[in-house]
Amino acid sequence: MMVESASETIRTAPSNQNGVSSLSSQSDGGGGREAARQFLLQQASGLNSPGSTEIKQSPVQVPVSMAMMSPQMITPQQMQQILSPPQLQALLQQQQALMLQQVKCAHILTHTCASQLGSKQLAFQQQLIQMQQLQQQHILNLQRQGLVPLIKMQSSEQDDSNFIPSSLFPAMCPSDLQQLWKEVSGVQSSDEALKQAEGLDLSTNSSNSTSAFPKAASAHIPLHSLPNGQSHTPKRESHEEHASSHPLYGHGECKWPGCEALCEDMGQFIKHLNNEHALDDRSTAQCRVQMQVVQQLEIQLAKESERLQAMMTHLHMRPSEPKPFNQPLNLASSGSLLKRECDAYPEGLPHPPTSAATPITPLRQGPSVISSSSLHTHSHSHTHGVGPIRRRNSDKYCTPIASELAQNCEFYKNADVRPPFTYASLIRHAILESPDRQLTLNEIYNWFTRKFAYFRRNTATWKNAVRHNLSLHKCFVRVENVKGAVWTVDEVEYQKRRPPKMTGSPTLVKNMISGLGFGSLNASYQAALAESSLSLLNNPHLMSPPTAASLNMLHVGHDDVSSTVEQVNSNGSCSPTLSPQQYSHAVHVKEEPTELEEDSRPVSLLANVTHSLPLPSDERDLEEDLPMEELE
């Protein structure tokens, strides 16, 4: 059953198929061909090595510690959303090449001993396939986590508004690529590779391992398991069975990203595949990207691991014990997992600066959302295009929004991952991030799409949600401006809607700590760390005494870092930093609703903290948390 599930995971066509055409359509444009060629050849020398030992040395190799980390951290849907389908495919192919040797063993074993071993052998084979597919998922997970630095690295020149970095794929003309593929694959032409990828050339599956990707593609198919849990070996599979399991074909349509062409049968699909999705610069570019992803991952892993150790040493924490990443954890129970992990830390001690739900791994660079909220929420995805995301848990327990965005800005900008924050939090963030702290609805839309790749699709859904939130929550105040209606944030109202906070009651504080405590504390702590490492350190004048900051960290129930930082920058009060009047003045709103002034919540303490110094534009993340209003 698990085998089938995993197989389905890999084969299932991703819901998001938007990015492919963008990716593939921008692979031309000039120079760098030779460099790209050299690079690919260089990489291919490792990828393509026929021997298993050489395969292990290939750039696609991922450290075991990484490969085995947190299989439960990401759902198939997430993987498919985060990685563009071609990336998924390319990654799978690489991984399958790596596993080819293992597959061979399984096949040989199956062929020679099936009659004697019977069900036991089948079970063994299934287990093997399970492990392989799990490994694939791990790799995918790692791949995704490494997507950020890759894209960032490669898209430094891109315009901020570009959804897909156009520089991802240095230009290589098709002829170059064809030749390159020949060199890469050694013997195979693209047509042969395609045939193998389609599973038509089964006879060579176990005999030819010189071509990494085409071979890997063909090797993938035997991994498919039948619904009854039995798996087929290549030679035993009939063509129909083989075809029916083609990863790019399902439900009568081509699953090639962005295609969805209807194919009545497998033959038609194969024809379609050959005609429309032949080997070209698209797949090559994806391959190239993938190579770099892996390389970056390894470099990044080393750096982040070192950083984590240093941080934990500094915090007098136990060195991170290697988490049982292969521990079979239920994806759907990540919420409880999250709490367990939060609770696992001794009271009074901060968590390591990783996401609360993230196993203590060196790979912190990946957005915490991936391992916590996204995992959780996407595991509940259903038919809706956007999917019902229940993220309050992560909002409260995990990484706040500003730090999350600060750390993973590029990631969210490019990866189709839903940010682990509520619409209200995001809207507020968008508004406070604006120069005047007021945005029109359309500007809010633009902020969403600019900041999150996730919100570049299903626009009707999330835009409706944005409007709904703007109207629903009192914290969003519509103001008639010269240019029209703009939306502002009423911080008091925003804080009001939060769960009970510590307003001085020791009992409440204690309850918060012991009850919600660690997750929230961790979130705040993370926020503090993140912010301190990003912005606050650049603005020491904004820092509060540690005691105050520590106290403020106890402020629970916030789903964004703004609040946390506000606390840090307040004088210890857990009340909102800003009064509505402050916002009113800051944005020169002419018609602020009177209810704002009527609010008598304890905001006066915050008046002591004023920041009239304009901040550099690149410190907006902090600025949004510390509006530069002057009290009058």
Partner DNA sequence: TAAGCATTAAACATAG
Partner DNA sequence: GCTATGTTTAATGCTT
* Interface with DNA (CB under 7 A): 335, 339, 376, 380, 384-393, 396-397, 421-424, 440-442, 445, 458, 460-462, 464-465, 467-473, 478, 485, 487, 497, 516
Nearer CB in complex with DNA: 76/214: 76
Q: Tell me the one-letter amino acid at 433.
A: E
CA distance 357 to 347: 17
Per residue, what are the HEC states of 270-284? Answer: HHHHHHHCCCCHHHH
Minimum distance, C-beta of residue 376 to DNA, in the bound complex (Å) = 6
First to last CA, the chain: 67
Residue whose pair of structure tokens reads 């909102």 in the numeric block: 576
CB-wise, 307 or 478, nearer to DNA? 478
Interatomic CA distance for residues 297 and 578, integer angstroms:
41
The residue (of 308 and 516) whose beta carbon lies closer to DNA is 516
How many helices (H) and strands (E) are present in the chain, helices listed first? 31, 4
Residue closer to DNA by CB (options 169, 445) is: 445
Tokens found for residue 270: 């194969």
CB nearer to DNA: give 221 or 516. Answer: 516
CB of 261 to DNA, least distance (A): 25
- Minimum Å distance from CB 493 to DNA? 12
User: Which one, 73 or 193, has the nearer CB to DNA?
Assistant: 73
**Which of 97, 470 has the CB closer to DNA?**
470
The answer to whether 497 touches 563, Cβ cutoff 8 Å, is: no
Closest separation in Å from C-beta 443 to DNA? 8
Distance between CA atoms of 281 and 181, rounded to whole angstroms? 10
Q: How far is the CB of 592 from DNA (least distance, A)?
A: 14
Contacts of the segment 318-321: beta carbons below 8 A, 24+ positions apart: 320/352, 320/360, 320/361, 320/362, 321/360
Please say which residue, 187 or 472, places its beta carbon nearer to DNA.
472
- The DSSP letter of residue 494 is H
Shortest distance (Å) from residue 203 CB to DNA: 47
Amino acid at 624: E
- Give min distance, CB of 463 to DNA, in A: 7
The 10 Å Cβ neighbour count of residue 418 is 25
Least distance (Å) between residue 327 CB and DNA: 20
> How far apart, in Å, are the Cα atoms of 73 and each of 370, 447, 551, 619?
7, 28, 31, 31
Instruction: Record the tokens describing residue 566, joined without a space.
Output: 């506000």
Nearer to DNA, 309 or 471 (CB): 471
Q: Which helix (H) or strand (E) holds 193?
A: helix 190-197
Give every CB contact of residue 348 below 8 A, 6+ residues apart in sequence: none
From the CB of 476, what's the least distance to DNA, in Å? 8
**DSSP states of 360-404 as a string?**
S-S--SS-HHHHTHHHHHHTT--SSSS-----HHHHHHS--HHHH
Tell me the C-alpha distance between 306 and 300, whole Å: 10
- How many Å apart are CA 612 and CA 539, to the nearest integer? 13
Considering the complex, state which of residue 411 and residue 454 has its C-beta at the smaller distance from DNA.
454
Euclidean distance between CA atoms 254 and 248, whole angstroms: 6
Q: What secondary structure letter does DSSP report for 194? A: H
| Shortest distance in whole angstroms from residue 77 CB to DNA | 13
Nearer to DNA, 152 or 380 (CB): 380
Query: What does the block give as tokens for 144?
Result: 């995704």
d(CA 509, CA 556): 9
Smallest gap from residue 487 Cβ to DNA (A): 7
Task: Pick between residue 179 and residue 464 the one whose CB is nearest to DNA.
Answer: 464
- Measured CA to CA in angstroms, residue 139 lies from 150, 277, 294 at distances of 15, 25, 9
Shortest distance in whole angstroms from residue 132 CB to DNA: 30
